[in-house]
Structure 1
Amino acid sequence: MREHLRAGIAVFNAGDFHDAHDAWEEHWLDLESGTDDEQLLHGLIQFTAAVHHGYRRNWTGCVGLAESAEEYLAGLPDEYRGVDVARVRRILAGVGRDPEVLYRRGAPRLTHGGEHVLLADLAFESAAVAAGVYAGRGGYDAATIDRGVAYAHEDLEDGKENSRFVHLVRDFAADPADRGIIHQRLAGHVEQRRHRERDVEGLFD
């Protein structure tokens, strides 16, 4: 869960409010309803949606989502799973009273373990989650990202910490300006790896 939490927080902190929930949703759907973990992710998903609607000037939607998020987070400790839940609740209360505060002060940043997590800060597992989020937008081939992540895992299991797949997946997640070029490079390396695999398989046909 830590990897998903940090990925979603970093995506949110990058200003991609609507996309942040994609880092949490798949994991959240597998959780038992009403558990602390489920309530945390449900509350954060509603929180990011509230901010998204606030920036679109949908004040009614923003306030409704902020109030809903507060309800999900109400029973959690002030700090849970590294998230400063008390601060999130304070932000939600302020947005619920005056959603235009998002324009006056700008969107808040979320923290994990007291750290304002950025995309460049993510360890590989969290970066892989974030890469999957960004693969779903901008016309990128999600299958290429999935294969790149799979090859990165294989290399890490073999002790190859400096694998080009590890670096390219992290760069794809962290560098929006060059994301298209990085995707092309990753696609090329994925195809080379698949070609080598097919050659090896052909030896045993």
Structure 2
Amino acid sequence: MDAHLRAGIAIYNAGRFHAAHDAWEDRWLALDAGEDERFLHGLIQFTAAVHHATGRNWAGARGLAESAREYLADLPGEYRGVNVSGVRASLAILHADPESIERAPPLGLTYGGQRLALDDLDFAASAIAAEVLAEEGEYDHATVERAVEYAREDIAAGRETSPFVTLVLDFVRDPENRGIVHQRLTEHTERRAARDRDVDGLFEP
């Protein structure tokens, strides 16, 4: 859960409030009832409340803030490194006055006391963030997914600085040039796939 949690937090802190939940949703759906399930459910609803508030859907923001508070109510003030007490306080404000989002920026999520940015993510969390950002940003998700697979293969083979590893990290960390990085990922992925097909062909009867 840790890498998914950090990826979603960094995406949220980058202002991609709607996209953040995609880093958590599959993990949440796979959980049995318990603290972790309530924690992720509450975070997902928190980011949704912020998303609706920034879109001036006051009723939607208020309703989600109320339900998110219920999910997070019995958790410790810091849970899995996240500032849950701050989230609860922010939800109370959103529930009482969702228009407050226009007078002050949304709460930043912290992990281990640090407000995570996309630049702070290691490769494991960046790989998750890359796929989320690809889908949210209307990039080719299949290309990014395959690039992540190649990067993981390279890391397992001891090639931690391979072009795939570097480009996946750049795709996450450099939003201004994300389109250019995606194009380079596409080119590298196509070349790698062609090379793999050529190698496979050597062993065909």
TM over 0.5: yes
> What is the TM-score with the length of structure 1 in the denominator?
0.97
SS of residue matched to 2:38: helix
Structure 1 residues 1-205: aligned runs within 5 Å:
1-32=1-32, 34-205=33-204
Give yes or no for contact 2:46–2:91 (8 Å, CA) kept in 1.
yes
Q: Which amino acid is 1:28 matched to?
A: W
Give yes or no for contact 2:154–2:162 (8 Å, CA) kept in 1.
yes
1:177 Cα offset (Å) = 1.1
The RMSD of aligned alpha carbons is 0.9
Q: Which amino acid is 1:111 matched to?
A: T
Separation of aligned partners in 1, 2:80 and 2:145? 27
User: Residues 14-53 of structure 1, C-alpha deviation per residue, up to 9 Å, x if partnerless?
Assistant: 1111111111101111111x21111111000000000011
1:193 Cα offset (Å) = 0.9
Separation of aligned partners in 2, 1:43 and 1:82? 15
Separation of aligned partners in 1, 2:69 and 2:155? 40
Q: Which amino acid is 2:25 matched to?
A: E
Give yes or no for contact 2:147–2:164 (8 Å, CA) kept in 1.
yes
Separation of aligned partners in 2, 1:18 and 1:101? 19
1:175 Cα offset (Å) = 1.5
> What is the TM-score with the length of structure 2 in the denominator?
0.97
Structure 1: state its 5+ residue gaps: none
Q: Which amino acid is 1:23 matched to?
A: A
Q: Which range moved further: 97-106 or 8-17?
A: 97-106
Separation of aligned partners in 2, 1:137 and 1:89? 27
| Runs of 4+ displaced beyond 2 Å | none
Separation of aligned partners in 2, 1:55 and 1:138? 18
Separation of aligned partners in 2, 1:152 and 1:3? 16
Give yes or no for contact 2:87–2:107 (8 Å, CA) kept in 1.
no
Separation of aligned partners in 2, 1:140 and 1:176? 12
1:138 Cα offset (Å) = 3.1
1:151 Cα offset (Å) = 0.5
SS of residue matched to 1:50: helix
Give yes or no for contact 2:19–2:136 (8 Å, CA) kept in 1.
no
Separation of aligned partners in 1, 2:63 and 2:138? 32
1:139 Cα offset (Å) = 2.8
Separation of aligned partners in 2, 1:49 and 1:132? 19
Separation of aligned partners in 1, 2:138 and 2:88? 35
Separation of aligned partners in 2, 1:57 and 1:188? 41
